[in-house]
Amino acid sequence: MDKIPRVLITEKAKEVIDTLKNRFSSELMFHQSGGCCDGSSPMCFEKGDFKVGSQDIWLGEVYGCDFFMSADQFEYWKHTQLTLDITPGRGSSFSIEIPMGIRFIIRSKLFTMEELENLSPIKTGEEVLDES
């Protein structure tokens, strides 16, 4: 049985990722931010621009992009499946899609008991770096 992914993505978000990859000629990554102002939102960077480490959790790859969040935050998020979507809006922060007048956004749903037993494995940011 296939493992259940922790992060899904909408078609619209895929289109934005394609546009950004072209514009920056680079692979991309996401780091889910914690609180304040523009927080609790996924931040999109050129791959490697944001330094991850042992205190980050890799939730998986979404449309070719590594998706991370800090380990303590993951403790409160791990029972939910995330969907990476976009919404029109003028966010701030250093996320690279913002000049396009749109913002990546996370929508969440609870995993079922069945799904919880069959989730895709996680790694730390450090392990991901060691492998690459």
Would you tell me which residues interact with another protein (CB under 8 A)? 31-41, 43, 45, 49-51, 70, 72-73, 76-77, 80, 87-96, 98-99, 103, 105-110
Nearer to another protein, 1 or 129 (CB): 129
- Between CA 47 and CA 74 the distance in angstroms is 21
Nearer to another protein, 2 or 99 (CB): 99
At its nearest, how many Å lie between another protein and the CB of residue 126? 15
At its nearest, how many Å lie between another protein and the CB of residue 49? 8
At its nearest, how many Å lie between another protein and the CB of residue 41? 6
Alpha helices in 1-132 (DSSP H): 11-24, 71-77, 113-116, 125-131
Nearer to another protein, 87 or 120 (CB): 87
At its nearest, how many Å lie between another protein and the CB of residue 53? 10
How many angstroms separate the first and last alpha carbons of the chain?
27
Residues 44, 45, 46: CA angle, nearest 5 degrees: 140
Residue 102 · residue 87 · CB < 8 Å:
yes
Count the residues in the chain: 132
Nearer to another protein, 2 or 6 (CB): 6
Residue 58 · residue 67 · CB < 8 Å:
yes
